Amino acid sequence: MAEIAVNKPATEYRKGFQSGISIAIGYAPIALTFGLLAKTTGLSIGETALMSLLVFAGAAQYISLSLLSLGTGIFEIILTTFIVNIRHFLMSTSLNEKWEDDQIANKAILSFGITDETFSVAAVRDEKVTSGYMLGLISISYSSWVVCSGLGHLIGASLPQTLQESMSVALYAMFVGLLVPSMKKSAKVVFLAALAACFNIIFTLTNALSTGWAIVLATLLSAVIIELIENVKNKQRGQEHE
């Protein structure tokens, strides 16, 4: 009977894989375009595929292409990549609290696949996150990213203009689809998302910070401010009861 209560790795893998389908759909147009741009920037198909295989970070890969075409040095490109991707530190720290696995090696290997999208899907999951679930989630997302990058270079064209434009909404729609169910359940979630959105809009429109830092700072400010407000409220409530 105990077996029923414990989620088996195979089931968890399948659940993760299913949760990753919307990521795979969303990655397809972005990766196809990346492959195409990489070709026009002068990367070989091997280099294009290698970058998607080893880096697996959309924004940073796009930025590296535009820096390459500007003739920027390698060191500066690597440094920019680091700054753009430092936000994943925050995401991994948050996910670590929810991800149950005593084997650090599993987490260490799978952490390679933490992106904005895989993090978001895993982090809003109702149940605890397991390594089997992460493996399923990451494997479908990663496959879509790598295969479509290569295809974009190989075919040398992206999707038809209209479809390409419409599909650019995919990942944002996915974020909305992940966020709204929690917003319906809790006012705190509404405030957290709205405050972070406001901060990020301000940072972005004023060009105060680069995209990577803007997201990190907006997220942290919102998460800390709302937590402090809640703590104060809880204390006041506690005093009223005395």
Partner 1 sequence: MSSQMVWMIAGMALVTYIPRLLPFVLFKGKELPGIVQGVLKNVPYATLGALIFPGILFINEDIWFGLLGAGAAFIAAFLGANVIVVVLGSIAVLSVYSFLI
Segment 153 to 212, residues that bind partner 1, using CB under 8 A: 162-163, 165-170, 172-182, 184, 188-189, 192-201, 204-205
Contacts of 66 (CB under 8 A, 6+ apart): none
Closest CB to partner 1 among residues 1, 99? 99
Asked if 118 contacts 23 with a C-beta cutoff of 8 angstroms, the reply is yes
Closest of 112, 169, 167, 172 to residue 141, by C-alpha: 112
Burial of 103 (C-beta count, 10 Å sphere; 0-12/13-18/19+):
exposed
Closest of 133, 126, 137 to residue 101, by C-alpha: 133
Which positions from 37 to 76 touch partner 1 by CB under 8 A, shown as an x/- string?
------xx-xx--xx--xxxx--xx--x---------xx-
Which one of residues 82, 127, 155, 235 is an interface residue with partner 1 (CB under 8 A)? 82
d(CA 146, CA 182): 31
Closest CB to partner 1 among residues 78, 155? 78
Which one of residues 21, 155, 208, 232 is an interface residue with partner 1 (CB under 8 A)? 21
Closest CB to partner 1 among residues 13, 52? 52
Closest CB to partner 1 among residues 36, 115? 115
Which 86-125 residues touch partner 1, going by CB under 8 A? 86-97, 104, 107-108, 111-112, 114, 116, 119-120, 123-124
d(CA 150, CA 9): 31
Closest CB to partner 1 among residues 8, 224? 224
